[in-house]
């Protein structure tokens, strides 16, 4: 009995110490897990911000993809176009002819993501590597906004934002550089993979 008591007396502090070590170890493990989770959250947030910058609403550029007023318009683009997307920038817009080389676009109905201060724009078309692009300039802003015409028929149009996946906006220092960036981006995964389908009224 004395042996048991003595051993119990000796082991009790050891058990207490071991329990404390286990608690500390568990605490450190939890802290490590929290740290890893925070790093993951920050990483995902950074990725989301980058994605929004690259794939979000079209960004106005200082340079046009084509030469405004130099390339003939495509008559199939003329008319009033609407889409039924969940939350588009533009719900309805009318494209009319100014002359053989330019369009007038009037936004009839804005979506919640619409960021321009005007509903009237001048627009042109150009081709890069056989693909048709519509680019436009708001009447009150010296910036160009670009869209890829994925498909165009008499009464249906499919468009996509023009993402610069190679060097981004900072790489655009001229029309030639913009074309180069578009050509490079075309070959990259994820380019023009989000589209909007429009129907002519």
Which DSSP symbol is given to 142? S
Q: Are 64 and 172 in contact (CB under 8 A)?
A: no
How far is Cα 26 from Cα 32, in angstroms, rounded to an integer? 10
The mean per-residue pLDDT over the stretch 152-176 comes to 95
Q: Are 31 and 91 in contact (CB under 8 A)?
A: no
C-alpha span between 160 and 18 (Å, rounded): 63
Q: 108-118, pLDDT tens digit by residue? A: 999 999 999 99
pLDDT, one tens digit per residue, over 70-88 is: 999 999 999 999 999 998 9
Share of the chain above pLDDT 90, in %: 70
DSSP string, 54-92: HHSSPPPBSS-SS-TTSSPPPGGG-EEEE---SS-SEEE
pLDDT in tens, 10-30: 445 445 554 454 445 555 555
pLDDT tens digits for range 142-162: 999 999 999 999 999 999 999
With 0.85 as the threshold, say if the pTM is over it.
Answer: no
pLDDT for 183 equals: 97
What share of the chain has pLDDT > 70, as a percent? 71
Strands 145-152 and 90-99: what pairing? unpaired
Q: What is the arithmetic mean of pLDDT over 36-51?
A: 44
Given a cut of 60, is residue 100 above it in pLDDT?
A: yes
Indicate the pLDDT class of residue 69, thresholds 50, 70 and 90: very high
């Amino acid at each position: 009995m004395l042996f048991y008591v003595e051993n119990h007396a000796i082991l009790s502090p050891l058990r207490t110490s071991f329990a404390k070590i286990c608690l500390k170890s568990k605490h450190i493990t939890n802290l490590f897990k929290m740290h890893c989770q925070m790093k993951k959250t920050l990483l995902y947030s950074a990725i989301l911000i980058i994605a929004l910058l690259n794939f979000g609403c079209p960004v106005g550029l200082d340079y046009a993809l084509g030469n405004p007023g130099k390339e003939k318009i495509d008559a199939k683009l003329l008319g009033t176009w609407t889409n039924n997307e969940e939350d588009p920038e533009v719900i309805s817009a009318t494209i009319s002819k100014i002359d053989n080389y330019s369009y007038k676009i009037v936004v009839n109905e804005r979506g919640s993501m619409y960021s321009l201060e005007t509903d009237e724009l001048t627009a042109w078309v150009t081709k890069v590597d056989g693909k048709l692009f519509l680019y436009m300039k708001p009447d009150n802003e010296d910036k160009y906004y670009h869209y890829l015409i994925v498909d165009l028929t008499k009464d249906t149009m499919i468009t996509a934002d023009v993402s610069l996946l190679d060097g981004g906006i900072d790489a655009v220092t001229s029309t030639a550089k913009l074309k180069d960036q578009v050509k490079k981006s075309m070959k990259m995964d994820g380019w023009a993979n989000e589209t909007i389908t429009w129907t002519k009224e």
